[in-house]
């Protein structure tokens, strides 16, 4: 158990004295949780092997799963990566600071502990003002995966971050809700054609407009034992609530009928059944119904929080509606399918 320094910081009126305290923890090899625009991150000095090992310990994360290195100045990419080509410069100019991570060949200064033994490194410049001031003030590049116990949904709000991580790290900055709610897009630029290894806040459509042809790692589109995901993290069970989750897809009316039928069946067996749906359908379902939002942006923002809320309500089974894989929908369906362990029911 660690003695964790916990402090609220207002992102619109940043208290630099407090930021300095947390930056010192990072400088001295400690771990600090801080808000970003995607999800809360659990950071440590990326170039200090001992410090980054503490991240894996705090999360219980497998050590072959590499970490994203966060920087506060675009120019820092050149300190960490080799072969920063024209495509990298274009996407960095267009999407940084923001929810895009680029994978590039790494320089030897990046320890293999944080790159999971790969010869590449994943780098992102976040746009959240607290993240940027903390990284800048610490003067180090900050490795920061999502601040959850490995396998659990990523925390996107203060309450969940505290519940899960208090006493596991040296510092926690509480800075309100993360406004995107899903992790960054991971874009591999080491091959001839840019490839999305993890869909996220920057969409395929956005990237294609900027770069032309962009591929999606086939392993993230479906569960197929024969395809190995290029982003090591994508192979693990992830984002899982305690209840068993299942996605029901098909025509809208059929989905509603099917889910209500399944709720009835479960209830008869004495089970507590949760339902996750778009807000306009909330009144159409039986069971413990939670609306995910009015549109895909809101669904992304609420998804992890609702999965955690279902845990708090102690449901046994959750049925979720399915969403179109358009724009941020691609990332939503990726996280939802993984959280469900790829359990689908056709209505
Ligand atoms: P998280 O740190 O929880 O946001 O997860 C980071 C994601 O980026 C995981 O899916 C990692 O496997 C992936 N990732 C990090 N570094 C690399 C890399 N060098 N090559 C490929 N994927 C990476
Ligand atoms: Mg994560």
How many Cβ atoms sit within 10 Å of the Cβ of residue 64?
12
When pLDDT is averaged across residues 49-63 and rounded to a whole number, the result is: 89
Q: Say how many CA atoms lie within 13 Å of 9 toward its Cβ.
A: 26
Q: Which pLDDT does position 151 carry in this prediction?
A: 87
147 Cβ contact partners less than 8 Å away, ≥ 6 residues apart: 33, 39, 40, 41, 42, 59, 154, 155, 161, 164, 165, 169
The pLDDT of residue 21 is above 70: yes
Cis before 97? omega within 30 = yes
Q: Is 184 annotated as a binding residue?
A: yes
Question: At 234, is the pLDDT very low, low, confident or very high (cuts 50, 70, 90)?
Answer: low
Q: What is the pLDDT of residues 142-196, one digit of tens each?
A: 999 999 998 899 999 999 999 999 999 999 999 999 999 999 999 999 999 999 9
Residue to substitute in 81, 104, 112, 116 for testing ligand 1 pocket (most ligand atoms within 8 angstroms of CB): 116
The pLDDT of residue 232 is above 70: no
Q: Give the pocket of ligand 1 (CB within 6 Å).
A: 65-68, 103, 115, 118, 120-122, 145-146, 183, 186, 197-198, 230-234
Q: What is the pLDDT of residues 75-99, one digit of tens each?
A: 999 999 998 999 999 999 999 999 9
- Of all residues in the chain, what percent carry a pLDDT higher than 90? 86
When pLDDT is averaged across residues 272-284 and rounded to a whole number, the result is: 98
Closest residue to atom 11 of ligand 1, CA basis:
233
Domains of the chain in sequence order = 5-221 (3.90.870.10), 244-346 (3.40.50.11030)
């Amino acid at each position: 158990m660690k003695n964790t320094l916990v402090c609220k910081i207002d992102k619109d009126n940043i208290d630099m004295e407090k930021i300095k305290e947390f930056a010192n923890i990072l400088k001295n090899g400690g771990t600090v949780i801080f808000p970003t625009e995607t999800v809360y991150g659990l950071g440590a000095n990326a170039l200090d092997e001992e410090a980054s090992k503490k991240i894996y310990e705090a999360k219980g994360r497998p050590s072959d799963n590499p970490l994203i290195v966060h920087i506060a100045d675009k120019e820092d990419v050149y300190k960490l990566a080799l072969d920063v080509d024209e495509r990298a410069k274009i996407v960095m100019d267009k999407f940084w600071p923001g929810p895009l991570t680029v994978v590039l060949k790494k320089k030897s200064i990046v320890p293999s502990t944080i790159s999971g033994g790969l010869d590449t490194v994943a780098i992102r410049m976040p746009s959240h003002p607290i993240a940027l001031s903390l990284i800048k003030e610490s003067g180090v590049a900050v490795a920061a995966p999502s601040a959850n116990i490995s396998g659990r949904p990523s925390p996107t709000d203060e309450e969940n971050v505290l519940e899960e991580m208090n006493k596991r790290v040296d510092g926690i900055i509480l800075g309100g809700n993360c406004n995107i709610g899903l992790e960054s897009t991971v874009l591999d630029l080491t091959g001839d054609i840019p490839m999305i290894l993890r869909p996220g806040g920057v969409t395929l459509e956005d990237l294609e407009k900027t770069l032309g042809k962009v591929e999606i790692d086939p392993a993230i589109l479906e569960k197929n034992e024969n395809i190995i995901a290029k982003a090591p993290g994508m192979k693990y069970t992830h984002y899982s609530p305690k209840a068993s989750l299942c996605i029901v897809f098909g025509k809208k009316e059929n989905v509603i009928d099917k889910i209500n039928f399944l709720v009835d069946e479960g209830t008869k067996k004495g089970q507590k059944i949760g339902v996750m749906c778009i807000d306009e359908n909330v009144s159409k379902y039986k069971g413990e119904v939670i609306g995910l939002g009015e549109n895909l942006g809101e669904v992304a923002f609420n998804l992890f929080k609702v999965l955690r809320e279902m845990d708090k309500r102690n449901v046994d089974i959750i049925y979720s509606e399915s969403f179109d894989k358009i724009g941020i929908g691609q990332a939503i369906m990726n996280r939802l399918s993984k959280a469900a362990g790829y359990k689908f029911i056709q209505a």
